[in-house]
Structures are given as C-alpha cells and as structure tokens.
Amino acid sequence: MATPSTPPYGAPAPRAPRVSATELATMSAQGRRIAMLTAYDASFAGVAERAGVDVLLVGDSLGMVVQGHATTLPVTLEQMLYHTRCVVAGCSRPMVIADLPFGTFQGRADDAYAAGVAALQAGAQMVKVEGGAWMAPTVEYLVRRGVPVCGHVGLTPQSVHALGGFRVQGKTDAAAQALLADAGALAAAGCALLVVECVPRALGARLTAEAGIPVIGIGAGPDCSGQVLVVYDALGIQPGRPARFVRNFLTGHDAIEAALAAYVAAVRDGSFPGPEHCF
C-alpha cells in the first residue's frame, strides 16, 4: 500500500515547484541576481533549466530569430501559445513568462485579459506587456483577475516604428524621468517584474533602486536585479553584427549547456554585463 509520501502505482513522481514571483522578489531583496533567457522550444528549455536559469521568457523575439522577420510585429497570439506550450513541456523548474504579442493588449482591457488567460492556460506563469504608464490600468485589470504581469520599458520592440528604430532610450534628463515615472506606475499597478531594455547604465541602476520590484536588464547595466538575453545571442547566433549588450558565451566552451551555465554564473557574480556591454 502506498504511504502518503509515496506516489500511488503508476503516478508520476512529484515535481519541484516552479520558480515563483515571490521567490524572485526574495532573490532580489537578498541581492541574488536573477538569470533569465529566452526560449522557444522544449529542447532549449531543457538545456537552459539544466544550466540553472531561473526564468525562461517565451519572447515575441521569435518573430525575428526563428521566423526571420525584421521586427516582432508579425507574431500572432496563436504562435506565442504554441511556443509557450513547447517551452513548458521541456522544463519543470524555471518560471515561464509569455510575451503578449503586438495588438493583443494595447486596446481594450478585456481583450488583454483574454490573451493573458490563453497564455496561462498554455502553461505560462506570467505574461509580459510592453509600454509605460499608459499601460498601468490594463496591468491592474489583469492582476486583479489573476494574471501576473511583467512590464517592459525602455526600448520596446513592438514600438520600433514609433521610436524611430532600435535606439537607446532615456538618454536625456526628461526621458530618464519619464521612464522612472513609467516604472513607478507599472509597479504601483501590480507588475511583479520589470524588464528594462537599452538604457544608460546609471538609469538602469536608478530604476532598480526605485522600482520596488525586481528589474531585469537587457542593455541596462550590471546593477539590475538580473539579466536577460535572447538565447541565440548568448550563443553567438545572429545574422549580422551583435548588439553592444550581447556576449557570446559559447566562446571557450564546447557545448551549449556549458555556455548557458557560464552565462548564469556571469550573471550571478556580476561579471556580465561588463563595461563594454553598457551604454
């Protein structure tokens, strides 16, 4: 007869719980840096898990690195849900965050909620939305209804045409103050996490100090609560010149898992990003 601590015959062994928003907040409060990578399929999700990654972002960056588009804008919700299910199937420990793609959340809040529910039903633990303070009412609407949200400010790729290209944000005092206000509004609305992309190092540090929630940087300097890279960038797989904030962790390693473990270690000890990766 099975004991309470033993799974009944034929039942799968219990899995360790996935990394939670509470765990990420504790890591940030204790000064333990969070390692995040993008993932789009089960195989890379499994390798990243074994390498010690805390969070996997199913990014709409798949539109560029997987589908070959010039921007993330053509990605559909159905495609995001498919890749989310693939990533969830390939790992058991990392938190999985799904991007809500362009056009699914910028309008009516109930449309954003429907997209968020679909992402969670596909297995994600959180959704990511791009935008500043104007997104705060939608964030609050989602969070109140049980959809955890990660915000994204700075360079927001879904707004690439409005921003005039992939440019560093927050370079002037006025622009920096606007980003600080955006971060504060999103945190107050209930965001559990905030991605900050392509801002000067000093602004990344200030956003992290003032946001009150964990801040994950990409091109935002080493003073953030953690870092994220597109997994292909971290492995030196890009069609042209890599962005300034990118480092090829496959250099000096003979296996992808070893390279991703080196990325995790460099994030943890603060050696990545280095001065050469900052704006």
Residue 41 has pLDDT above 80, yes or no: yes
Q: How far apart are alpha carbons 212 and 254 in whole angstroms? A: 39
SS3 265: helix
Q: What is the pLDDT of residues 121-152, one digit of tens each?
A: 999 999 999 999 999 999 999 999 999 999 99
Q: Which CATH superfamily is domain 32-277 in?
A: Phosphoenolpyruvate-binding domains (3.20.20.60)
Q: What is the pLDDT of residues 167-199, one digit of tens each?
A: 999 999 999 999 999 999 999 999 999 999 999
> What are the catalytic residues?
197
57: which strand partners?
38, 97
* pLDDT at residue 2 in the model: 47
The pair of structure tokens assigned to 15 is 């899995």
The pair of structure tokens assigned to 275 is 């001065």
User: Residue 32 gets which letter from DSSP?
Assistant: P
Residue 14 has pLDDT above 70, yes or no: no
Distance from first CA to last CA of the chain, Å, rounded? 63
Return the domain boundaries, the chain. 32-277
Task: State which amino acid sits at residue 134.
Answer: W
Residues of the chain above pLDDT 70, percent: 95
* pLDDT at residue 5 in the model: 54
* pLDDT at residue 1 in the model: 45
The length of the chain is 279
Q: How far apart are alpha carbons 68 and 251 in whole angstroms? A: 24
Closest CA to 52 of 96, 22, 93: 93
Q: What is the pLDDT of residues 53-99, one digit of tens each?
A: 999 999 999 999 999 999 999 999 999 999 999 999 999 999 999 99
Q: How far apart are alpha carbons 54 and 59 in whole angstroms? A: 15
| Average confidence score pLDDT of the chain | 95
SS3 149: strand
Residues 6+ apart with CB under 8 A from 92: 15, 16, 18, 49
